[in-house]
Every structure is written in structure tokens, then in C-alpha cells.
């Protein structure tokens, strides 16, 4: 429903958004995820119409909002998009009711319609009974709900969220995530969410784009980006990865490649094998997610991919330990269920299931 086609935005000689194309589907939560300065907010501002790209096209339901070639620019107030930013931008002198009603008064709705629409959305965001409160007397989470209600009250085609919860404490942020997802499913609005917080993007988004230096590295469902990162940047940005710089010692006729870690040789199948021509002698980086490393009692029966390590440190996280385990001169991160009885300094069996090991170009 919303399409960005070869969008470019420069500040001086700096490419803040560099030939970016993506499509957002009706009713989905789409996240733009990336490190600080990668161009997320700039992209969102082009969608909102707060800023003009240098070139490219932006289409909403096949109608151009921006086109450099056709010289079209639809200003922000005509785009029917709701926006919530990190700073709530709640006006201190207005009540909750009047804050939410404001966009409707701008649009010159009839009073009875305003009353009905405002009360309905205030109820949906869970602020019933607070209509007459002055906004500064609300908590941070409540203020953010007011901002959401104000952005949704006129039934926008798209809701644009730029780091909407980053001012809230951790507990409240997690609660607001759940509430946003429930609300979005109920209202059915399409959402573009900008965040640098991977757990926010992974938990909320139906699909997401990982951005780096003004470009998109990969677009997909959260599980796809996590399990099948297309680039080293995505692999390292999302989740934890243990990496071994190594080389291929042997390639079997079935395509399995062997590598050496420490003084052992591991038979491997690299799921990222398309990245490299696998040949004996080639330098590669072997990667595995910490939760895929089988530790202690889980480490049996992995067809030769077992070895022994020494537990260096253990961090207790309630449901599991995050362990650093020494093998062959390298400390690797592994997760161990807290039901396993391990202690620091202990020798422990480990296994690297071969389907969980991926090979990347060095």
C-alpha cells in the first residue's frame, strides 16, 4: 500500500538515504531497524512529507505522494498519516480530550462526531476516565498513549512511529509493545516503526528492513533475518553470534566442509554456503548462534561435532546461564538452561550441530 522507489536524500555531500526502495503492505507492522545515524528517521520524514527526497518516488495506494520526475510533492497535512515521535509533543495547556480532538478540529469535524471518535479511541488506548486531566499530570506511558490516540483518531492510512517508547523505562516499554500490537491488530492500521532496538523490531514487526549507512541490507520476516542473515552486517547486528576465524581443511563429495577449531576438525555444512566457493585452504569465518551450541547433557550424538571446553564465567539470567566457555584458546558464548548443574572452572562437553554452523567469507 505504501511504496518507496529509489529514494535518495543527501545533506551536503552526505548520503543519508541512498537509493532506498521498499514496500509496506496493508495492515502490517513494518520496522526500520539500524544503528544510530543510518537514516531511519530521515526515511520516515520523507514518508511523512516533513521533508522532500532529492529523487525517487513515494506512492500511497498507487497515488504519488512524491515524484521527482513528475514534480509532485503532497505536503504532510494532506497525507493522512498519523505520527508519534520519541518526545510525545503533548501540549501542556490542553486536556487529554482536547489533545486527542485537535486533529479533528483542524479537519473541521462536527462536534458530535468529534465527541464519539475521541471517546472511542481514548477507550481503545486505555485512558477512559482521564479525558479531563491536563496532559502534564500523566505518567510517561499515559502520555505516550495520548500521543497514539491523537495519531489514530482520524483513522490514518499509515501510522508512523519514530522510537516511540525510548523515553520509557524497560518494564513500561515492554508493556507498551504488547499494547501497541494488540491495538494495531484491532484497528488494522499499517504501521512503519523506526527503532534502533532489535528486540523491539523483532517482537513487534511483521516484516523489517535492516538499514546501514542509508541503504537497506535485508528485508524479511524477523525469523528470516535472524536465521538466514544475508550479510555479515545483519548477522552481527541482530542477535549474538560466536565467530571463529578458520580455514577449510577438506570438502567432502556431498559438499560438507571441514574446518579446524583449536586442535580438532569439524565436519560442517554451511547454510550460508552460497557466499563462498568452498575449497580446501580457503579462509572462512564459521558462525553459530549461542543458543544453538549444545552444552553438557545436550551435547551428545552430534556426529563428531563434539568437543570439550572449560567454563570460564557464568551469568545467571533466571531461565538460563550465559556462559563463556574456553575452547582452543577462544572464549565462546553459550546459553545453558539453569537446570544444568555447572560451575566455573569445570570441563564441559559442547556440540556444534552442523546445520547450525554457517560459513562466511573471511
Ligand X SMILES: Nc1ncnc2c1ncn2[C@@H]1O[C@H](COP(=O)(O)OP(=O)(O)OP(=O)(O)O)[C@@H](O)[C@H]1O
For Mg ion, the closer of residues 39 and 290 by Cβ is 39
Considering the rule CB under 6 A, would residue 259 count as an interface residue with ligand X? no
Q: Out of ligand X, Mg ion, none, which partner does residue 81 contact, by CB within 5 to 8 A per kind?
A: none
Task: Let me know: does 323 contact 335? Beta carbons within 8 Å.
Answer: yes
Q: Out of ligand X, Mg ion, none, which partner does residue 16 contact, by CB within 5 to 8 A per kind?
A: ligand X
Angle between helices 111-124 and 140-152 (to 10 degrees): 130
Beta pairing class for 330-337 and 81-84? unpaired
Work out how close the CB of 304 gets to Mg ion at its nearest, in angstroms, rounded to a whole number: 48
Spatial separation of the C-alpha atoms in residues 123 and 119, rounded to whole Å: 6
Q: Out of Mg ion, ligand X, none, which partner does residue 56 contact, by CB within 5 to 8 A per kind?
A: none
Of 2, 24, 41, 180, the one binding Mg ion (CB under 5 A) is: 41
Nearest to 20 by CA among 50, 51, 42, 1: 42
Task: Let me know: does 32 contact 192? Beta carbons within 8 Å.
Answer: yes
289: DSSP letter:
-
Work out how close the CB of 235 gets to ligand X at its nearest, in angstroms, rounded to a whole number: 20
For Mg ion, the closer of residues 163 and 282 by Cβ is 163
Considering the rule CB under 6 A, would residue 16 count as an interface residue with ligand X? yes
Considering the rule CB under 6 A, would residue 315 count as an interface residue with ligand X? no
Task: Let me know: does 6 contact 54? Beta carbons within 8 Å.
Answer: no
- Residues 187-206, one symbol each (x = binds ligand X by CB under 6 A, - = not), give ---------x----------
Considering the rule CB under 6 A, would residue 37 count as an interface residue with ligand X? yes
Of 38, 147, 216, 311, the one binding ligand X (CB under 6 A) is: 38
For Mg ion, the closer of residues 192 and 257 by Cβ is 192
Q: Is 147 helix (H, G, I), strand (E, B) or coil?
A: helix
For Mg ion, the closer of residues 41 and 46 by Cβ is 41
Beta bridge partners of 194: 32, 162
244: DSSP letter:
E
> In this structure, what are the phi and psi dihedrals at residue 76, rounded to the nearest 5 degrees?
-50, -45
Of 13, 36, 253, 339, the one binding ligand X (CB under 6 A) is: 36
Q: Out of Mg ion, ligand X, none, which partner does residue 49 contact, by CB within 5 to 8 A per kind?
A: none
Angle between helices 96-106 and 140-152 (to 10 degrees): 20
Work out how close the CB of 202 gets to ligand X at its nearest, in angstroms, rounded to a whole number: 17
For ligand X, the closer of residues 40 and 354 by Cβ is 40
Considering the rule CB under 6 A, would residue 302 count as an interface residue with ligand X? no
- Residues 143-182, one symbol each (x = binds ligand X by CB under 6 A, - = not), give ----------------------------------------
Sheet of 63-67, strand order: 14-24, 2-11, 55-60, 63-67, 72-73
Of 7, 29, 40, 160, the one binding ligand X (CB under 6 A) is: 40
Task: Let me know: does 59 contact 24? Beta carbons within 8 Å.
Answer: no
Q: 324: burial class by Cβ within 10 Å (0-12, 13-18, 19+)? A: middle
Q: Which residues contact 213 (CB under 8 A, 6 or more apart)?
A: 15, 18, 38, 39
Q: Of 33-41, 203-211, 284-292, 333-341, which segment contacts Mg ion by CB under 5 A?
A: 33-41
Q: Of 21-29, 39-47, 202-210, 257-265, which segment contacts Mg ion by CB under 5 A?
A: 39-47
Work out how close the CB of 67 gets to ligand X at its nearest, in angstroms, rounded to a whole number: 22
**Interacting residues with ligand X (CB under 6 A):** 11, 16, 34, 36-42, 196
Contact residues: Mg ion, CB under 5 A: 41
Amino acid at each position: 500500500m505504501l511504496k518507496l522507489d529509489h529514494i535518495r536524500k543527501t545533506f551536503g555531500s552526505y548520503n543519508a538515504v541512498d537509493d532506498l526502495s521498499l514496500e509496506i503492505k496493508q495492515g502490517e507492522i513494518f520496522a526500520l531497524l539500524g544503528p544510530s545515524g543510518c537514516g531511519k528517521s530521515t526515511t520516515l520524514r520523507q514518508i511523512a512529507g516533513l521533508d522532500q527526497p532529492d529523487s525517487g518516488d513515494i506512492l500511497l495506494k498507487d497515488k504519488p505522494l512524491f515524484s521527482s520526475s513528475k514534480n509532485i510533492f503532497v505536503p504532510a497535512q494532506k497525507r493522512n498519516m498519523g505520527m508519534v515521535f520519541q518526545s510525545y509533543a503533548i501540549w501542556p495547556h490542553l486536556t487529554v480530550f482536547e489533545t486527542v480532538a485537535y486533529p479533528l478540529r483542524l479537519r473541521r469535524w462536527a462536534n458530535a462526531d468529534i465527541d464519539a471518535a475521541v471517546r472511542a479511541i481514548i477507550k481503545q488506548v486505555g485512558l477512559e476516565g482521564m479525558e479531563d486531566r491536563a496532559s502534564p499530570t500523566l505518567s510517561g506511558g499515559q502520555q505516550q498513549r495520548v500521543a497514539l490516540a491523537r495519531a489514530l483518531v482520524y483513522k490514518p492510512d499509515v501510522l508512523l512511529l519514530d522510537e516511540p517508547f525510548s523515553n520509557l523505562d524497560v518494564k513500561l516499554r515492554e508493556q507498551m509493545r504488547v499494547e501497541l500490537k494488540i491495538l494495531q491488530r484491532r484497528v488494522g492500521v499499517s504501521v512503519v516503526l523506526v527503532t534502533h532496538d532489535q528486540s523491539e523490531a523483532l517482537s513487534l514487526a511483521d516484516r523489517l528492513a535492516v538499514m546501514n549507512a542509508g541503504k537497506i541490507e535485508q528485508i524479511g520476516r524477523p525469523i528470516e533475518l535472524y536465521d538466514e542473515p544475508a550479510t555479515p552486517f545483519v548477522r552481527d547486528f541482530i542477535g549474538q553470534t560466536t565467530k571463529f576465524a578458520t580455514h577449510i581443511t577438506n570438502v567432502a563429495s556431498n559438499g560438507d566442509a571441514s574446518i579446524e577449531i583449536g586442535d580438532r576438525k569439524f565436519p560442517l555444512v554451511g547454510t550460508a554456503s552460497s557466499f563462498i566457493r568452498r575449497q580446501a585452504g580457503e579462509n572462512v569465518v564459521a558462525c553459530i548462534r549461542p543458543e544453538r551450541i549444545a552444552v553438557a547433557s545436550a551435547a551428545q550424538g552430534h556426529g563428531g561435532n563434539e568437543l570439550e571446553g572449560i567454563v570460564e564465567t557464568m551469568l545467571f539470567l533466571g531461565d538460563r546461564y550465559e556462559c563463556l566457555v574456553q575452547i582452543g584458546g577462544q572464549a565462546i558464548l553459550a546459553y545453558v538452561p539453569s537446570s544444568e548443574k555447572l560451575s566455573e572452572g569445570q570441563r564441559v562437553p559442547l556440540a556444534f550441530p552442523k546445520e547450525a554452523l554457517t560459513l562466511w567469507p573471511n
